[in-house]
Amino acid sequence: MGGNWIRREKHSCGGFVMAVAAVIFSCILIGVTGQDGQTMTAEEKSKIRDQILEMFDHAYNSYMDYAYPADELMPLSCRGRVRGLEPNRGDIDDSLGKFSLTLIDSLDTLVLLNKLDEFEEAVKKTVQDVRFDNDIVVSVFETNIRVLGGLLGAHVMADVLKQRGERMQWYRDELLHMAKELGYRLLPAFNTTSGLPYPRVNLRYGVVNPLSRTGTESDTCTACAGTMILEFAALSQLSGDPIFEEHARKAMDVLWEKRQRGSDLVGTVINIHNGDWVRRDSGVGAGIDSYYEYLMKAYILLGDKVYLDRFNTHYSAIMKYISQPPLLLNVHMHNPTVNVRSWMDSLLAFFPGLQVLRGDLKPAIETHEMLYQVTKRHNFLPEAFTTEFRVHWGQHPLRPEFAESTYFLYKATGDPYYLKVGQSIVEKLNTHARVPCGFAAVQDVRTGTHEDRMDSFFLAEMFKYLYLLFSEKSQLPINIDDYIFTTEAHLLPVSLSTTQPSCHTNNTEPQAHEDDLFSYSCPSAQTLFPNNPTFAKTIRDSYKYLTGLGRTQQPSPVRGIELPLHDTGLEPVEFLKSMGISLTPLTELVSASLSSASQDSQKGVFKLKLVAEVSQTPEHEEVVPLIVQLISPPFLGRTVLTAGPAKFGMDLTKQEHGVKGSIVKSVPYTACGPIENAVEITGHIALALRGDCMFAAKARRLQEAGATGVIFIDHREGSSSAETPLFQMVGDGEPTDDITVPLVFLFSKEGATLSAALQEHHNVDVLLLPKEKQLGKEKPEKLNIKFRIAKEEFAEGEIESTTIQLVLEQSETDTEGASLTGKNQDTCSSPQKDPESSP
């Protein structure tokens, strides 16, 4: 496109032009290719795209074969989830309405993935089998975005295919008629004094009917009330009945009126009758997320400038108070300088994608990179994680928001780095979520255990974004830039805005705010980052090593020393405890004369009094390289993988012929819970993934299950023995004499080779033995850090307590007590010992 900036015209109700509404999508195509040392050929992209299609087929066919016409598939049980026949799961079940939810949610995905025969058959099934006159209470929000949105997206696709004259010639707007019926069944929820909808409605009896079994609720979430406008406005435009858009707009108006005028933020939960805020914490994740999304997208779809002005006002407040790059932290809407919690939920992963739509790429890249680092540590985004990137809630129901943002960032930058991110998503889904009957949610990312659920949004969203990420426009059956995604990734054409005026009356004017470069313009990357094709990489590099580190602490008067804890993710406090060192929070020791502000700055700091001696190690412990040699056909010893040893277990250097055995993958793969496939593991060498618990704990469980050896595989993507020094696995601080099986460690690239061999050939024999020693190789120089407890001196009147302070003192020749003895002595050797904990 010519020029550096494209103005978004400020539209009036009657003067909207479709091309200008679509400009936001057009301008995110203005990208540059980042230089991250990673490229992907067309052949590689095609291979991954085919893999995504196979994965979708596995999930969709499993639903159709084992679950249809039920709402969802239970992938572990290989049967459908029918509400009332399975144990009640609370609010989660409000998505289920006995209307074949997964089928409807998947319809336009079938078109996008070029499965046009399957789409036509699925539409016929929907028309013939699905009914909405059900005596069942459902979530207004979920039914709107999944079912109503699914019907509208499928109707649009069916109409496009029919107009081409090749398919769907029998179609007579049946899906649109079904959408209109469902819309009318949802309308009773809006019968409140404020205009905000009830959170639930009975599809047959509405809300006020005595038979409805609902209507007693007084609260709803902000997103629940503010995520109706796209589907309801599209339904009005397509059906010609304005009532739907009017109700959705009214709800948006109320939320805008009820914002906190000082901060321009909204809360999480609001009273539907009087409009009072029930929960005043404000963020961009669960409870609020799609309200902000729908303000921006309502402008794109409908061309009404009011929505854009409101979005810009909120966005300025978000970036002022909630955005703490790369974090997005909830604050109090009335006092937004105060964080209300120290953890984030996974739903905020959509926000970088929304920032891309606005053109604000730098914070989008920062937050996305933070999220990527979390997935590298835990395989998936936990439902909630702390500011130090540890698990707060361990569930992962296969949410698509991270894939969504990855797609938008690739569209905006053209950087192949994001293709590699997408590839990692595909690989992890296949490795950690795939089961014989579909894909199963992860109950806890720390253990890898599965949950018997496969939500409909997995098919509706995940496969759309992944497929689009690896596809060229010419490979798609539609021009994707002519459509906007709803929050459920259903496709609505931006041409809807030309059919009828979308804003008949709206007297709610936004509060004046200072416009920035992105308020009404779509930026080009060349303007934002002139002559710098590596801008995305430059931004990302600052956040490459976030995991294991907390937020930047304020400067503290206490001088610290950084211990070589490597990339274990092990809590420093727990590590020191394993060495026998007890700690006391410094806040308990500071003098009463310190100001409260000073005390606050010491939170999370521990006081130790130790004398640290740094010296050359007179005797070096050499890390003896081991190998895993594949000896069964077709490998016959030609495939040799370099492995690291353990400080415990069988000493392979003393085994004349090594240890031979067939390999079996542990279930769970991390071996951090009860071993579920002990029968298969007995008498074999077990494969286990690093992470979530200590090496020694894994080894004990697998040995008790009957394993004759254990091969640990690194969970960190891209690690290899060629690039990373070998280390020795160490124990967990407890005696390890009970562990007698051989233990070896493979980095992820070598581990991937072994896993691929097992997946292809099923029966793979390996030999574990030392690698031939290289003569004349100099041993690496090592440093030891030793600790000694020193007696604390107390002033008169102070209460003596067993506290210790960690200090680094300059050594003069030979300081008093320079050697260490006793329980607290331990050694942290060079990066060649690695006690494992959280990944």
Q: Which residues contact 161 (CB under 8 A, 6 or more apart)?
A: 111, 116, 119, 120, 167, 168
Structure tokens at 56: 């979708």
**516 assigned to active site:** no
The active-site residue out of 289, 404, 444, 732 is 289
- Residues in contact with 214: Cβ distance below 8 Å, sequence separation at least 6, in sequence order: 137, 198, 200, 201, 202, 207
Q: What distance in Å separates the CA atoms of residue 270 and residue 279, rounded to the nearest whole number?
A: 7
The answer to whether the CB of 632 falls within 8 A of the CB of 763 is yes
Helix (H, G, I), strand (E, B) or coil at 503: coil
CA 235-241-247 angle, to 5 degrees, is 75
830 near 780, Cβ under 8 Å? yes
Strands 685-689, 659-665: pairing kind: parallel
Decide if 565 contacts 572 (C-beta within 8 A). Answer: yes
Question: In angstroms, rounded to a whole number, what is the distance separating the alpha carbons of residues 225 and 647?
Answer: 58
* Identified catalytic residue from 118, 142, 264, 834: 142
Q: Prior bond to 336 cis, omega within 30?
A: no
Active site residue 461: no
Q: Phi and psi of 315, rounded to 5°?
A: -65, -40
Helix (H) or strand (E) holding 410: helix 401-413
**838, two tokens:** 């959280």
Residue 494 dihedral angles phi and psi, to the nearest 5° = -70, -15
Q: 767 forms bridges with which residues in the sheet?
A: 629, 660
- DSSP bridge pairs for 786: 613
Question: 3-state secondary structure string, 460-495?
Answer: HHHHHHHHHHCCCHHHCCCCHHHEEECCCCCEEEHH
Distance CA 642, CA 658 (A): 14
- The CA-to-CA distance between both ends of the chain, in Å, stands at 45
E strand or H helix that includes residue 749: helix 748-761
Residues 6 or more apart whose Cβ sits within 8 Å of residue 273 = 192, 193, 194, 218
Alpha-carbon distance of 382 to 392, in angstroms, equals 8
Residue 487 annotated as binding? yes
Q: 509: buried, middle or exposed (CB in 10 Å: 19+, 13-18, 0-12)?
A: exposed
Name the residue among 670, 651, 647 with its Cα closest to residue 768: 651
Distance of CA 836 to the CA centre of its chain: 23
Alpha carbon of 761 to those of 2, 54, 680: distances in Å? Answer: 55, 20, 16
Q: Is 515 a catalytic residue?
A: no
Q: Is 415 helix (H, G, I), strand (E, B) or coil?
A: coil
Q: Which residues of 730-757 are buried (b: 16+ CB within 10 A; e: fewer)?
A: bbbbeebeebebbbbbbbbbbbbebbeb
Torsion angle (degrees, nearest 10) of CA 266, 267, 269, 270? -50
Cβ distance 159 to 108 under 8 Å? no
User: Is 21 in contact with 10 (CB distance < 8 Å)?
Assistant: no
State the catalytic residue, choosing from 383, 404, 750, 836: 383
Alpha-helix runs per DSSP H in 661-741: 678-681, 695-704
Q: Buried b / exposed e across 550-574, counting CB within 10 Å, b at 16+?
A: ebeeeeeebeeeeeebbbbbbbeee
Q: CA distances (Å), 337 to each of 285, 324, 357, 386, 552, in order?
A: 18, 11, 27, 19, 17
Q: Which of 231, 245, 401, 836 is catalytic?
A: 401
**Catalytically active residues, by annotation:** 142, 289, 383, 401
Which residues are part of a known binding site for Ca(2+)? 487
Which residues are part of a known binding site? 487
